[in-house]
Homo-oligomer: A and B are copies of this chain.
């Protein structure tokens, strides 16, 4: 049925949900709601899309569902075809290799490993290790386990396993008490919004951050703790939807010519909500990255890699399952739907309605302290000055049938699915407006 607006019968959570919650069962709502958060940006084409239901009810897929294959050892019959029509059909320009993984964390962990292997091979001039390297690697010692580093950015989020966590710098609660690697961390530009109004100030801020990043690489290389790679998000999502200009990323790419690999983490930005499948495609670079990692909306995790990052020997990048083939089957359909239903263009159009609406809310009375509306496509956010007010607003919107999520300490982030139309954007703005009026 056509979706013609939320329809609320109770407050949220509803009475049934409250009973379920008492059994630790959480939230099951009989309400119809407009989800502008979608399980943290991980539902690509909305709930219960018939194309996906069809995949799951197709008897010829049953074997994959009930007998999970170890993809590295026993690739199933359709594996190659699904990769060609799925992940490779939307590969960023210049990428001819893809490695599937199961979640954002193992995607980044393994991308880091691919970078370390590539860097050491380059240093050593060969992929053949010395006997001393072989011996020491097993016991965590140099030279087998070298003292290589990765450069990351303050406010960046790349996952929570210990390797990823060493490059994550968002909230203390995520990192407190965990042993970590002492690796270089550069400042991420703190821009003023709207970007067009503060061009000069923002350019200065970005220049300063780039200088720091380059300095760090040079210094750490000098002290023998080489920077093997730089890892960054096209929009810092968990960190509070922090943007940098496309120019910043182009210049950063230039700086990586100090011999580092450039890894663009598209776990949250990838999949179409910015109006392109990959947010980094907005930068307008011929050679924007060496590795691009993904998960969430892509259903499967994994990463694309340039020639040269493929491992030289089997089992260096490997794990038990290497993803879940069920997700590849679903993704192939998602990509078909994105193409046939022109969902990227729709994300651009809906995003425009949304961002303009958010701009208006910032300036029109009632003068609630809303600020820093920002976004690309439907990947938008707005700040609410007081943290309590922010949470309150999210709650009020929820009781009016709109699911939202916070990010950073006082931002609300909007992460609708790709089936979010201009009509939905207007609906959302109306309800959001009402919620604000009630504050």
Contacts and interface: CB of A to CB of B under 8 A. Distances in A.
A153 B153 CA distance: 35
Interface residues of A, number: 102
A105 interface: yes
B146 A103 contact: no
Interface string A56-96: 11000011011111100111111111000000000000000
A116 B47 contact: no
Can you tell how many copies of this chain the complex includes?
2
A138 B175 contact: yes
Chain A interface mostly helix, strand, loop or mixed? loop
Contact of A140 (B67, B109, B140, B182): B182
A318 B117 contact: no
A372 interface: no
Contact of A320 (B117, B185, B296): B296
A23 interface: yes
Interface string A290-318: 00000110010000000000000101101
B162 A70 contact: no
Interface stretch (A35-43, A247-255, A377-385): A35-43
A359 interface: no
9 contacts: A20-B77, A20-B80, A40-B70, A48-B67, A113-B160, A134-B172, A146-B179, A162-B163, A179-B181
Interface of A: 20, 23-28, 39-40, 42-43, 47-49, 52-53, 55-57, 62-63, 65-70, 73-81, 102-106, 109-110, 112-113, 116-117, 119-121, 129, 133-135, 137-141, 144-149, 154, 159-164, 166, 169-183, 185, 295-296, 299, 313, 315-316, 318-321, 324, 326, 330
